Structure 1
């Protein structure tokens, strides 16, 4: 009998595995060891049991600061929002915003690891968290459950994102909002298209007051050339029957990482809608952000 075809041979007091079993056993043991030796991307501890979120242990997953109850239907804040009731905020260029989590110290650390330190391990995790919020939006704005809106997020035509300046792109090497938006588009089989550019760097908004943010963002963004024609081609390529029947009314999902005052989203939505209206196209813009501060 050839050694490579031998399965099991019993000898007194011993059990010998044939040559065909050894590689399989080794592979299984290697996989088991690797699984048990993985570390949680959030806490860095060895974790034999992981949650449904990529690279996150069960202990950390139960601490995700989800936004379950929405108090402000405009910005998605879980508490009363004094900003959205101000007279100057009544004219919005986007319909509403929804966020996945509250901007707690833990959320700030996770986003900071990904956004500023380039820790790519947080990318899939944050993308999955944001996708959970997108699914909640689909349910909230589904036509049979919603009386406030005739349109439904079930019929998003294009996913786009808040852009970063060339300076920030060079420093970080990526646009965190684009990565998140592309994940949403891919997981939900939606077309992604970069519709906006940021001609100049406006500096870090986290150090500015609300009025300073609004003034800075007034002329911070512009649309890509030939935007409307590109949207039409992407929608037709995606094969959306509703979109092909209503080419003059398009639903956009605008994605960003953090919602603070809404000035960034307001500025982006304004230039998108104004440019589209020049071509006779109405945009219904919904915003989706990872965290709400």
Structure 2
């Protein structure tokens, strides 16, 4: 008899006990999963983590209805050269990011970072001097315990063999951007970032990482600081981006 078949009943019992003692749940909807599930997503939520095949802005990469540039990249002064966004900020992706960010699910960074790494190898493959992250204010860091963008950036850095470097600091503890209008976002985030002390990025190429790209004001303000410090090129990589519809 095949040894695997012989021990299958015992394996099922062990799997049941492990699932009961150490429950594994979907990162998005918290559905209880089989202990041997390779990824922490239920089948239904995993569908939202498939590559997006629709139209994208040619500058910031956000999903859009039409072709060419989104309305923001057309109308605003942009300080990044090229943006890359892995998923639309919707459905299971949105739920997972919110859990990762606000519900102490820091360990999600390995799966989410791996998906961003896959996107890098498939669509970016640029050479950068440094990878960095959008910083959060020290007061928010104290409450949350971690900067989710930094966890993602450090993971990606290790996978693609480009050094991670802390370059920016958040000097103003701003209001949450998601509750503000577009105009309020710009005012809220203005002058909220600066370079850390004793950092020289002149003529350096930098990839800055974040988890959500909505109106782009936060990323753009970070890139503005980097470009004013004479960085040669600044691109960004975001785990998700809000869809722009007409």
Shorter chain as denominator, the TM-score bin is 0.7 to 0.9
Q: TM-score, normalised by structure 2?
A: 0.82
CA distance in 1 between counterparts of 2:17 and 2:187 reads: 51
Task: Name the counterpart of 1:39.
Answer: 24
> Following TM superposition, by how much is the alpha carbon of 1:78 offset from its aligned partner in structure 2, in angstroms?
2.0
- Please report the RMSD computed on the Cα atoms of aligned residues, expressed in angstroms: 2.5
Q: Which one of 86, 103, 108 corresponds to residue 122 of structure 1?
A: 108
The list of structure 1 runs, each at least 4 consecutive aligned residues, that deviate by more than 4 angstroms after superposition, is: 28-32
Label 1:256 to 1:121 Cα distance change in 2 as closer, same or farther (>3 A): same
Label 1:124 to 1:41 Cα distance change in 2 as closer, same or farther (>3 A): farther
Q: TM-score, normalised by structure 1?
A: 0.69
How do 1:137-152 and structure 2 match up within 5 A?
137-138=123-124
CA distance in 2 between counterparts of 1:35 and 1:253 reads: 44
CA distance in 2 between counterparts of 1:70 and 1:161 reads: 26
CA distance in 2 between counterparts of 1:77 and 1:121 reads: 26
The structure number with the bigger radius of gyration is 1
Task: Name the counterpart of 1:288.
Answer: 237
User: Relative CO higher for 1 or 2, CA cutoff 8 Å, sep ≥ 6?
Assistant: 2
Is 2:242 the partner of 1:270?
A: no
Label 1:161 to 1:203 Cα distance change in 2 as closer, same or farther (>3 A): same
> Following TM superposition, by how much is the alpha carbon of 1:156 offset from its aligned partner in structure 2, in angstroms?
1.5
Contact 2:132 2:153 in 1 (8 A): yes
> Following TM superposition, by how much is the alpha carbon of 1:257 offset from its aligned partner in structure 2, in angstroms?
0.7
Contact 1:47 1:57 in 2 (8 A): no
Contiguous gaps of at least 5 residues in structure 1: 1-24, 140-152, 232-247
> Following TM superposition, by how much is the alpha carbon of 1:121 offset from its aligned partner in structure 2, in angstroms?
4.0
Contiguous gaps of at least 5 residues in structure 2: 1-6
